[in-house]
Amino acid sequence: MQKEYVRDHYGYEIYITEERWEHIQQEHPDMVGYYQHLLETLRQGKRTQDDLEPSKYFYAKAFQDLVDYNSHIVVVVKFARVKDGLGQEVPNNFVLTAYQNFF
């Protein structure tokens, strides 16, 4: 996997890179084996905007098979724009991190 793209239920395309997935597993070992949960969270999770950084969003979705007492997967996404080869601004929405949490 170099980049994997998914579309959230708002219609936004978001990608995760292999480097980010490796980082997530190193920083949050409870996420090992939960890659498909992460993708499902992006596709179907509830989205909230960060109060301090408006370009950052949190996606959260409940699952019954998480470790310890955790109840949700949370995926943090940065919404950005970059210029393509023609100089046009295009969306560049990517996963920053993900973790398990209890709500």
Q: pLDDT digit string (tens) for 10-50?
A: 999 999 999 999 999 999 999 999 999 999 999 999 999 99
Q: pLDDT digit string (tens) for 60-78?
A: 999 999 988 999 999 999 9
Q: pLDDT digit string (tens) for 77-101?
A: 999 999 999 999 999 999 999 999 9
User: What is the value of pTM for the model shown?
Assistant: 0.95
40 exposure class (CB count in 10 Å sphere: 0-12, 13-18, 19+): middle
- What residue segments make up the domains of the chain, in order of their start? 3-101
pLDDT at 1: 67
